[in-house]
Chain A
């Protein structure tokens, strides 16, 4: 191998090892490249004595760059991302499916669903486990196996609603209509778990009949099928003299005890429950029932009506009672001996009121209702006190006592709350005052102030003292959060001192790149490549040429392979791009890594495509760097060098020329030396 310069030492002595596919500099020992594409088959001997072929598998349609750093000890080596995902998925599906005891057909179907999901990018942003579970459950539903979503969530320890969400999304996106769940599907499974022995079948049949009855009676709409199954099985078991407690049933069926009881009571309400066992087996009642929620609603309505009637009656009764009460009091008063002296003034109603107001209602006498209520209360209390005091004592003794009482009353009751002290005077005022509304706001961002009561809004703003109190309260409430924040900051400060503080940069969200403005496709590709910074080895002139000859290119391709049989050069990555004219930018971006292909046929075809800059163009523009030259095939980085190189190459007759060489890129940063372990 001549002409190549080692980038480490600058030496030109480069050894090419065909077997390993390496190019190594003998001066400094740095590996210049590996994965040289060869067209011969070689064998190596294994430790066991057998021989195996040397080589790597490369995917046909994907990039073939193999991460060979550190040696190939992964099964997934040599595969691209999509294949890896699918393989991973398949493994997980089988793992889960075996735990659920699904047969192979189901697992294959699930894998197909998974493939569809991956191709629709539904796995992005979701845990793989969730997607797998959703695929499996979809299969269960379409096949009609008695697996519940709850089982899957049990296995995965994931919230069942999260799984349900994924499942619904999957079903919607894949346009698969999962048939509705029939509770009858679960009966055999649960019956088996409840261990009915020989009579398993009979109990199951009874339970099935019960379920059908429940369906007719509208108990099953909107309910978890497992709950219904549980109730049916419980009743069926009892009918056949099996003693299965509620606890056993719910442990099998996985519903709550109260749910089960509710179902049982609902069933009890249906007329079917009145039949005996034998009758039930023979007769099927014709009539249907209303759904339980409907009956519940009806009952509520009736209750409300009853309540209304009752309350009306209550009011009447109350009215009567109060009138009786008043009459009795009047009688009592009249029958009582008249109090003399100091008491007399107290017993008078007016004075009592005055006393009340003077004692309690000094500050604000605005709310008359409250006052009236208060005075009424006080009056009654007074009446009691005085009424109790007077008969049992002489006037003289009663006097001072009675006199002593009103003050004692005040101290007893304490100042009664008035509207002002309650602080609701404002809101009362607010409720009384009316607001007018203005539906139109002035445009252009100005705030239309009409109809907005400023006063009310002012009330929302606290004054100084209140603000302080509120701040205090808030601090106390959120003390823990604040403390955590302080600790965190202290920690960060300490770490910073020590110099080990890692700046946790918030994840940089993907910058939206500006759309590339270009007049031609070639220009667009150039710009894109610059942006993506994939390769500096691209010869833009070729790119331009590609675009210009794009129309004639595809036709000439076929002619090329024959002509270029001799030219063994490999094509550049761009060629797939040029072929797939529909998506040049994206595909070029992805495939700018050497396409390592061991198949000569492909090579030639690819080469043919590379020769889009056709001979006519070449002839027309000899000035152009010869990399474009048809014979040399792919574009090279150092056109001058390559021009020289290519000739000797062809004459050389050496079978293996590395792809990189042909492309002329020495800087190809392939550091991996260990290639195929095969």
Chain B
């Protein structure tokens, strides 16, 4: 049962969630009126803006905090976030500056503050070439794995050190969520030997 290296599994990242801040108050009404690709949810006080190029959806609050979801890689997330800030800038939001405190720029060059960019969550999917016996797996991995067939068909395996959660289905497909792409990859590597133990042999 050597199940260590040479695992050429394809880990497909399906979603990357990131947050960033523009350090200025945003007028949601104005964005809603003038943006072509926005949905204004007044009851909860936020605006959804969807971009086509990196296909992302951003939730914008009036405090200037923005959450950006739907990207398929970290770079794409950052790129999309920047485009978003640029479009906000074009809508006419002048912002004061964050770390370098400058007055309103004389050159007419407007800086949009793009601070605290952080990738918050990464969701990836991975497929094992074998099926997995879930009750056996749960028994062998007691504290980390929890399996409630009445509630959810998959085993929920949590790795505290990486802050990652894996959902392991009996078909062999695994859904991983973690704080960044590296953690996700590490999590899959960590769990692979255990999953390999409880696999179902193809007759």
Give chain A's interface residues, CB within 8 Å of chain B. Answer: 148-150, 160-161, 164, 167-168, 171-172, 175, 177, 180-181, 218, 221-226, 287-288, 290-291, 293-294, 297, 435, 437-439, 441, 444-449, 451-454, 456-462, 466-467, 470-471, 474, 478, 481-482
Contacts and interface: CB of A to CB of B under 8 A. Distances in A.
Q: 3 tightest A-B contacts by CB?
A: A222-B153, A221-B170, A164-B151
Interface stretch (B6-14, B62-70, B131-139, B187-195): B131-139
Contacts of A438: 79
B33 A471 contact: yes
Interface of B: 32-37, 40, 42-43, 53, 75, 78-79, 82-83, 85-87, 89-91, 97-100, 111-115, 131, 133-135, 138-139, 142-143, 146-151, 153-154, 169-171, 200, 203
Nearest to B151: A164
B111 A446 contact: yes
Nearest to B114: A447
Contact of A222 (B99, B111, B170): B170
Contact of B90 (A180, A291, A457): A457
Nearest to B38: A460
Contacts, number: 130
Which residue among B78, B97, B147, B148 has the maximum number of chain A CB atoms within 10 Å of its CB?
B148
Contacts of A226: 150
B90 A148 contact: no
Contact of B86 (A175, A447, A462): A447
B139 A223 contact: no
13 contacts: A164-B148, A175-B143, A222-B153, A288-B203, A291-B170, A291-B200, A439-B75, A445-B99, A445-B111, A447-B89, A451-B79, A467-B33, A471-B33
A653 B34 CA distance: 88
Nearest to A225: B149
Q: Which of A150, A164, A445, A458 has the most CB of B within 10 A?
A: A445
A221 B133 contact: yes
B20 to A, nearest CB: 10
Contacts of B139: 180
Given A167-B148, A180-B135, A223-B149, 5 more contacts: A160-B150, A160-B151, A180-B147, A181-B150, A461-B87
A164 to B, nearest CB: 4
A481 B41 CA distance: 10
A445 B149 contact: no
Contacts of A466: 36
Contacts of A459: 36
A461 B31 CA distance: 9
Contacts of B100: 444-445
Nearest to A175: B143
Contacts of B35: 460-462
Contacts of A218: 131, 170, 200
Nearest to A439: B75
A521 to B, nearest CB: 35
Nearest to A168: B146
A224 B79 CA distance: 44
Contacts of B151: 149, 160-161, 164, 168
A171 B135 CA distance: 17
Contacts of A462: 33-36
Contacts of A453: 53
B29 to A, nearest CB: 9
Nearest to A179: B139
A668 B134 CA distance: 64
A161 B131 CA distance: 26
A297 B127 CA distance: 13
A471 B33 CA distance: 6
A297 B131 CA distance: 12
B79 A447 contact: no
Contact of A452 (B32, B86, B113, B203): B86
B53 A435 contact: yes
B3 to A, nearest CB: 20
A139 to B, nearest CB: 16
B135 to A, nearest CB: 5
B99 A444 contact: yes
A221 B135 contact: yes
Nearest to A222: B153
Nearest to B76: A437
Given A224-B149, A447-B85, A474 B32 contact: yes
Contacts of B115: 445
Nearest to A289: B203
B150 A449 contact: no
A404 B97 CA distance: 70
Contacts of A294: 131, 171
Contacts of B40: 474
A223 B87 contact: no
B99 A461 contact: no
Contacts of A437: 79
A459 B87 CA distance: 10
Contacts of B146: 168, 171-172
Nearest to B29: A471
A458 B148 CA distance: 51
Nearest to A221: B170
